[in-house]
Amino acid sequence: MEGILFPKGVVEGREGLKEYQARGGYEALAKALKGSPEEVIQVVSDAGLRGHGGAGFPTGKKWQFTREAPEQPRYLVMNGGEDEPGSRKDRVLLENLPHLVIEGAVLGAFAIGAGKAYLYINAKYETAIKSINDALSEAKAAGYWGEKILGSNYDLDFEIIAAPHNYVAGEDTAVLEVIEGRKPQPRQKPPFPVTVGLFGKPTSVNNVETLANVPRIMLKGADWYRGFGTKDCPGTMLFSLNETEDVNTPGIYELPFGTPMRHLIENCGGGMKDGKKIKAIMPASPSSAYLPADKIDTPLDPNAMRDAGSMLGCGVVHIVREGDSIVDELVRITEFFAAESCAQCPACQMETKSLAMLMKRVQQKQGNQAMLDQFGKLLAFNKGKGFCNLIAMPGPPIESALKLFPADFQALLPNA
């Protein structure tokens, strides 16, 4: 299946400068520099590109807000902090298509009028960091960044920042805190980074995959991009089917929005190992609602997932096998969020630790019906609190599991 990022929709190995140039690499940049930043923003807006980091905010609108902010200088930050369990899409792009990512970052920086761009990459991704460093050297030697790019009047400098190994360090404002030399703790919003971001200046924080789409959009056009996906959700997305070993061929797959989830699991993933049946699917692990097995044909797009009662997030698809305990799943999830809370917000620290403690007690057959009722009350009490969304993330898995699989909980109560 043809892809936007990967020509065949799957990873084919690292692409060097010559190989990238052979398929039109950096031609979009040369074209953009002959026009205006506003034209870049318009094409990206017409294409309908949305952020691929989970929130899905329109990229053109974010760039427009950043460019229109009166303060100077402006900054572009590529967010490759990626520390979600099972997510490897950004690492795959940085390792294999570094020039595509770099060209996207230069185009984004040009669009918002930034003179400096920061490439924020998970410190564990040593191969990805080397790949980007090597590609930056090649690209600078070829005149694709630095002073007077390709003979224009536009200058851009890059700096790589190693991201800490914790989940919250990938939150957009926590990224800015790290770059400024502080702990990875989210900021209270508003103000938002597009007006008050890095060093208090307008900043566009964009996911790796988001930026990687931009060169192809600028080269091929908005209509070409809209030929993929659906009318409301154009384009493709990289889906991570590698958190679980329950499918025969786990991996990273690029698919158009709107592709049935069944295609990802059965055609791309090769189906379940040993003929195991599916009990539940989490389309955006570890923070989305579970879907029952009969929802396997739900289209992989944000709107369809929302209508089904879940969400798409950044595309980490997790499968629960028939016979597995949903309570064991939730112990893993609640303990993860309790460990990853940065402890800046007392409500978040209290909630995540309490949820993990309660779920563990249920697993150990020390719970009762009143304890099961406590989950919903605790989640409702803390709704809307906290500087970031981590406080809300354990809610959808817990509430959906209680609704879909009550027998798993009841079986662990002392009077079962």
Q: Are residues 30 and 107 in the same domain?
A: yes
Q: Are residues 189 and 63 in the same domain?
A: yes
Report how far residue 247's alpha carbon sits from residue 162's, in angstroms, rounded to the nearest whole number: 33
99 and 138 in a single domain? The answer is yes
CATH number at residue 198: 3.40.50.11540
Work out how many domains the chain is built from and give that number: 3
- The helix or strand, by DSSP H or E, that contains position 332, with its residue range, turns out to be helix 326-340
Cβ atoms within 10 Å, residue 27: 14
Q: What is the pLDDT of residue 414?
A: 82
Same domain? 206 vs 305? no
> Are residues 345 and 351 in contact, defined by beta-carbon separation less than 8 angstroms?
no
Q: What is the CATH number of the domain that holds 333?
A: 1.20.1440.230
Inside any domain, residue 73: yes
Q: Cis before residue 302, ω within 30 degrees of 0?
A: no
**140 and 28 housed in the same domain:** yes
> Within a domain: residue 189?
yes
Omega cis (within 30) before 256: no
> What 3-state DSSP class applies to 156?
strand
Return the number of other C-beta atoms located less than 10 Å from residue 123's C-beta.
13
Domain boundary among 203, 226, 249: 226
Is position 374 within any domain?
yes
Residue 221 burial by Cβ neighbours in a 10 Å radius (0-12, 13-18, 19+): middle
Q: Which two tokens stand for residue 239?
A: 């889906």
Chain mean position to CA 204? 15
Examine the fold and report which residue of 197, 226, 255 is the final residue of a domain before the chain moves on: 226
Q: What pTM was estimated for this model as a whole? A: 0.95
**195 in the same domain as 77:** yes
Same domain as 296, residue 356 = no
135 in a domain, yes or no?
Answer: yes
pLDDT of 243:
61
Task: Say whether both 331 and 370 belong to one domain.
Answer: yes
Is residue 317 domain-shared with residue 333, that is, in the same domain?
no
- Out of 261, 294, 321, pick the residue that ends a domain: 321
Does residue 60 lie within any of the structural domains? yes
* Residue 261 belongs to domain with CATH number: 3.10.20.600
Whether the upstream peptide bond of residue 215 has omega within 30° of 0, thus cis, is no
Looking at the fold, whether 284 and 142 belong to one and the same domain comes out as: no
103 & 178 share domain:
yes
Q: Phi first, then psi: give them for residue 207, nearest 5 degrees.
A: -65, 155
Distances (CA, A) of 321 to 83, 251, 279, 327, 351: 24, 18, 5, 13, 28
Q: Which of 235, 241, 244, 267 is nearest to 253 (CA)?
A: 241
Distance CA 262, CA 255 (A): 12
Residue identified by tokens 């997510």 is 87
How far apart CA 49 and CA 224 sit, in angstroms, is 12
Tens-digit pLDDT profile for the chain (416 aa)?
Answer: 678 999 876 778 899 999 999 999 999 999 999 999 999 999 999 999 999 988 889 999 999 999 999 999 999 999 999 988 888 999 999 999 999 999 999 999 999 999 999 999 999 999 999 999 999 999 999 999 999 999 999 999 999 999 998 899 999 999 999 999 999 999 999 999 999 999 999 999 999 999 999 999 999 999 999 999 999 999 999 999 966 678 999 999 999 999 999 999 999 999 999 889 999 999 999 999 999 999 999 999 999 999 999 999 989 999 999 999 999 999 999 999 999 998 889 889 899 999 999 999 999 999 999 999 999 999 988 888 888 888 889 999 999 999 999 999 999 998 75
**80, part of any domain:** yes
Which residue range forms the structural domain that includes residue 99? 17-226
CB 349 within 8 A of CB 343: yes
Q: Are residues 366 and 303 in the same domain?
A: no
Asked if the structure places residue 6 within a domain, the reply is: no
> Is residue 1 in a domain?
no
Whether 243 and 278 have beta carbons less than 8 Å apart is answered as no
- Axis-axis angle for helices 98-112, 126-141 (nearest 10): 60
DSSP assigned state of 148:
S
